[in-house]
């Protein structure tokens, strides 16, 4: 088959293609389809697999492998029985800004769907992170994150019941938790520690988010403190790897 410009065997490294040896057929197909994606633009419908296989002179399984990678990367999306060019990924800032702020900044409508709000005795591993004693009651708030009504993530928040005893009655689970803390309780954030890793969702998590279990996820662990330096919350958030990218502002020391 023909290879895209400067991606033939022996060409220098480009987009992850090995510098030595032959390029796998599916990767060459992926490069061709990537160029087609740029031509079609967001929402454009790709030709059926059989047409792509004939166009590039490969098997349908080779085409499927190429499309599978582009789907996992978030460049394509399934629509009915077809495949379309996906829109740009949501950019989430690595800051103390809320999910709501980040989504609205990009002209999208944020939302949340409540899975559960429950109390349970605080385990020792969680106590120091939220400013509670072992065995004291803790709130666990679990919600699906939405963007324009599409499920894009799953968020679990843990806070001390002693610090916000009326959470169940006062808080609207469809709204921003950070806005509730600031506007209703007068709590301002001071700082937080975050850790980011890639994971595969559990079957339960995949079902709640509406994705295949094999879809890569971005997992963020956050432990936050208030403006006075007191422990406030622990948050575990799963974001769809095909729908999100993260940004951070870095500066030198002068």
Total number of domains in the chain: 2
Q: Are 52 and 25 in contact (CB under 8 A)?
A: no
So what's the pLDDT on residue 207? 94
So what's the pLDDT on residue 105? 85
From 85, 110, 128, the end of a domain falls on 85
24 secondary structure, DSSP code: P
Residues 114, 117: Cα–Cα separation, whole Å: 8
pLDDT tens-place string over residues 231-254: 999 999 999 988 888 888 887 875
Give the CATH number, domain containing residue 116.
3.40.1410.10
pLDDT tens-place string over residues 102-113: 888 888 899 999
So what's the pLDDT on residue 248? 82
Q: Assess whether 34 and 106 both reside in one domain.
A: no
Q: Assess whether 97 and 71 both reside in one domain.
A: no
Q: Are 98 and 222 in contact (CB under 8 A)?
A: no
So what's the pLDDT on residue 187? 95
Q: Assess whether 154 and 183 both reside in one domain.
A: yes
So what's the pLDDT on residue 79? 85
Count CA atoms closer than 13 A to 232's CA, side-chain side.
23
Instruction: Classify residue 162: in a domain, yes or no.
Output: yes
Looking up tokens 């996906």 gives 86
Q: Assess whether 102 and 81 both reside in one domain.
A: no
Q: Are strands 244-247 and 90-93 parallel, antiparallel or unpaired?
A: parallel
CB atoms within 10 A of CB 96: 15
Instruction: Classify residue 252: in a domain, yes or no.
Output: no
Instruction: Classify residue 100: in a domain, yes or no.
Output: yes
Give the CATH number, domain containing residue 44.
1.10.10.10
So what's the pLDDT on residue 12? 38
Residues 138, 123: Cα–Cα separation, whole Å: 9
Q: Which range of residues forms the domain containing residue 58?
A: 25-85
> What are the DSSP E strand ranges found in 80-188?
82-85, 90-93, 110-121, 137-147, 150-160
Residues of the chain with pLDDT below 50 are 5-18, 20
From 68, 85, 102, the end of a domain falls on 85
So what's the pLDDT on residue 23? 78
Helices (H), the chain: 25-40, 49-56, 60-72, 99-104, 124-130, 167-170, 177-179, 203-209
So what's the pLDDT on residue 59? 93
Q: Are 187 and 181 in contact (CB under 8 A)?
A: yes
Q: Assess whether 75 and 123 both reside in one domain.
A: no
């Amino acid at each position: 088959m023909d290879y895209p410009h400067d991606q033939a065997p022996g060409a220098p490294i480009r987009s992850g293609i090995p510098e030595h040896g032959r390029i796998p057929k599916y990767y060459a197909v992926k490069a061709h389809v990537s160029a087609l994606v740029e031509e079609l633009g967001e929402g454009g419908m790709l030709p059926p697999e059989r047409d792509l296989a004939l166009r590039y002179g490969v098997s349908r399984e080779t085409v499927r492998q190429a499309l599978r990678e582009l789907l996992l990367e978030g460049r394509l999306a399934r629509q009915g029985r077809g495949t379309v060019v996906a829109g740009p990924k949501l950019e989430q800032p690595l800051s103390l800004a809320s999910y709501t702020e980040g989504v609205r900044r990009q002209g999208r409508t944020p939302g949340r769907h409540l899975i559960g709000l429950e109390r349970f005795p605080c385990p020792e591993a969680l106590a120091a992170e939220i400013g509670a004693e072992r065995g004291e009651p803790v709130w666990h708030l679990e919600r699906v994150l939405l963007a324009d009504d599409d499920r894009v993530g799953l968020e679990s928040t843990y806070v001390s019941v002693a610090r916000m005893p009326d959470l169940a009655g006062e808080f609207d689970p469809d709204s921003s938790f950070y806005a509730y803390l600031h506007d209703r309780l007068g709590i301002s954030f001071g700082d937080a520690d975050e850790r980011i890793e890639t994971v595969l969702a559990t079957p339960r998590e995949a079902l709640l988010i509406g994705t295949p279990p094999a879809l890569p996820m971005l997992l963020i662990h956050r432990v936050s403190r208030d403006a006075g330096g007191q422990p406030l919350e622990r948050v575990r958030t799963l974001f769809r790897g095909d729908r999100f990218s993260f940004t951070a502002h870095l500066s030198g020391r002068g």
